[in-house]
Structure 1
């Protein structure tokens, strides 16, 4: 499973900043980068700077009028009324200076990762600045201005002619990516997320399966609030394995929101670092089984930026370079560097304590419900397998 891996990074990722108190904080990317450097697991020759996506690339997905509105907004030249119509200037997605350039850089980072993998310069690529899965063709949504994953998938299709499997493990449904490719049989989307009953964006129901020629290529597993590790991992492993075997992709792109953790302030799930050890392991395995190793990973949500995201995202890179056996404790040097800035005690270990939270009283009921959801989501695959071959 060995292969060259690249890490797309620039301090300029910090320019994507809504405000000092906004929950979406790209400092988490820098914290992850610094943790890997202090572990001596990220070398200079593995770090690739991102480029800024061109307007032509952005219009693979986004409306030119929307792109122009984002440019004007970042210069203070867009009226509040027009901004609201484009989903910017809202509480979730406020306007900030030079927002077009900052947003296009995140897209360009993901495209840089794509080009390295699909030209054979690298087997795996990680761009943690990306993963903004809520952006739509002509509207910002849920902290996301441009949808880098959607642009990257369309870019891969047009430039490289590949079948793409997109796997989203953010606690929020990957709605922007799903709806973009909802009628496309060459793109398979899988989103495992907290049910939208209590959480934005409220979509991602198990019966959202695609439309037209794309029917049967959209998969959703909405897990119940308070879902714990074992139930979450069963949903992830069962669905990813069966769907990959069904679709047989040429390349995998994973969105790695780290907000399913118990500590996350915006969600209601009860996972621990256990799932973040397993998420990249299976992605790595499946990429080598079906895609000659071609695996692109991006970031996403994650709002406990101190205790959760740096550990979770570091484990993706550590899996890519196959050094998981080399890590033990969190480096003291990293803790000393960041503890004064952190409002919470930084973790000393990679894994969470067994008593992280009190037992969930409805654990069995929640697990049983999730099991039923997985079976329902995968029902279409199993039915297709039972159909006789057409002549």
Structure 2
């Protein structure tokens, strides 16, 4: 059994809306090149994705929507029909071959799933995945098909697994949450910037699931300008308690890298410190509860030069137990890409101190986030208290 596999091929770069769109898969290439130049990955670690079949996509997506995506990519979908499916918008413009490119990203996550669930690898990483805003019959927020939702349904059907989905993107993992909102065998946990200021505007702490799925959806919306310490406290506390409550067979993590201060689309003040810790905890809990079964996908991340490669490389380095890397980035990587980068590239794995001015409302933001954690975990904690008091009364 391999420790970890890295799902990648140049085919994943074909998911491209246009040259000016913030969602830029070139970040995959930058990340892989960073891993190669620091000696963290070998050719035999990399496995190609396959294309998801229509039948697999239909585990989540409506057949008429899949057909519309195919027609759009061939230039045969009217403007009216396109807009009814969320296609041809500013967020998700139509591009040639969009069905094939999107199905390849889903197939990459399914490839990762099969490696882990069939015991060929303990961990698998598909950075081309993580498109968590896609809905059953509608594209949304740069996402055409929702690879994580398809993968979760696929794992349920093929491997009869109980799945914990953890989403650390700055945007709420809405598409995945709503796909399994009434399912007690899928637990979703999203920590994100509050929807008061950021798309998609959902992910309130009171969104807890419905029907049999009530109590299996967890959300921690953190305040704008949240810094490392407060963010990590919320993530660590919640992830540990949720994993202990749900006891999954497998953990799938969505690793959007857009909570960083440099990200142009969000309003959080995290640094590389959180991206060092995010995969460490996922790794630890996968071994504690799931015999190591951990599938990780990419997600958002719009500073593709300074943030995403360093953040995403850390996931692979953690999976392969090479995570104590620090100090300078490989000079060859910086020299190779600086001429192409519109910004000054970082030269170290971690951010230097003081990359932003002090946040004036820090105590207030920290206190607010603490209250959010309390509210989010209240059902677990109150159940624990009542079961302890029941035991004592027997």
State the TM bucket, normalised to the shorter chain. Answer: over 0.9
Aligned to 2:287: 288
Aligned to 1:120: 119
Q: Does 1:334 align with 2:333?
A: yes
- Structure 1 segment 160-199 matched on structure 2, within 5 A: 160-199=159-198
- Give the Å deviation of 1:328: 3.2
- Structure 1 segment 11-30 matched on structure 2, within 5 A: 11-30=10-29
Aligned to 2:264: 265
Within 2, Cα distance between the matches of 1:48 and 1:327? 27
Indicate the SS of the match to 2:324. Answer: helix
Within 1, Cα distance between the matches of 2:325 and 2:231? 26
- Kept in 1, the 8 Å contact 2:169–2:300? The answer is yes
Write the deviation string for residues 202-252 of structure 1: whole angstroms up to 9, x where unpaired: 000000000000000000000000000000000000000000000000000
- Give the Å deviation of 1:326: 4.3
Structure 1-normalised TM-score? 0.98
Within 1, Cα distance between the matches of 2:216 and 2:134? 20
Aligned to 1:75: 74
Aligned to 1:216: 215
Q: Does 1:375 align with 2:374?
A: yes
Within 2, Cα distance between the matches of 1:340 and 1:322? 32
Within 2, Cα distance between the matches of 1:362 and 1:154? 42
Query: What root-mean-square deviation, in Å, do the aligned CA atoms of Structure 1 and Structure 2 show?
Result: 1.2
- Structure 1 segment 298-309 matched on structure 2, within 5 A: 298-309=297-308
- Kept in 2, the 8 Å contact 1:3–1:321? The answer is no
- Give the Å deviation of 1:336: 1.3
Write the deviation string for residues 14-56 of structure 1: whole angstroms up to 9, x where unpaired: 1000000000000001100110011111111110000000000
Q: Does 1:384 align with 2:383?
A: yes
- Kept in 1, the 8 Å contact 2:57–2:150? The answer is yes
The more displaced of 256-265 and 321-330 is 321-330
Aligned to 1:38: 37
Aligned to 1:135: 134
Indicate the SS of the match to 2:252. Answer: strand
Alignment: residue pair count: 390
Aligned to 1:5: 4
Aligned to 1:353: 352
Aligned to 1:256: 255
Q: Does 1:58 align with 2:57?
A: yes
- Give the Å deviation of 1:161: 0.3
Structure 2-normalised TM-score? 0.98
Indicate the SS of the match to 1:143. Answer: coil
- Kept in 2, the 8 Å contact 1:114–1:156? The answer is yes
- Give the Å deviation of 1:337: 1.1
Within 1, Cα distance between the matches of 2:212 and 2:30? 43
- Kept in 1, the 8 Å contact 2:258–2:300? The answer is yes
| Structure 2 unaligned residues grouped into runs of 5+ | none
- Give the Å deviation of 1:353: 1.0
Q: Does 1:245 align with 2:253?
A: no
Within 2, Cα distance between the matches of 1:263 and 1:107? 28
Aligned to 2:274: 275
Write the deviation string for residues 255-313 of structure 1: whole angstroms up to 9, x where unpaired: 00000000000000000000000000000000000000000000000000000000000
- Give the Å deviation of 1:101: 0.1
| Structure 1 unaligned residues grouped into runs of 5+ | none
- Give the Å deviation of 1:387: 2.9
- Kept in 1, the 8 Å contact 2:334–2:345? The answer is yes
Within 1, Cα distance between the matches of 2:291 and 2:326? 27
Q: Does 1:225 align with 2:203?
A: no
- Kept in 2, the 8 Å contact 1:335–1:346? The answer is yes
- Kept in 1, the 8 Å contact 2:327–2:350? The answer is no
Within 1, Cα distance between the matches of 2:327 and 2:350? 10
Within 2, Cα distance between the matches of 1:97 and 1:36? 31
- Kept in 1, the 8 Å contact 2:7–2:47? The answer is yes
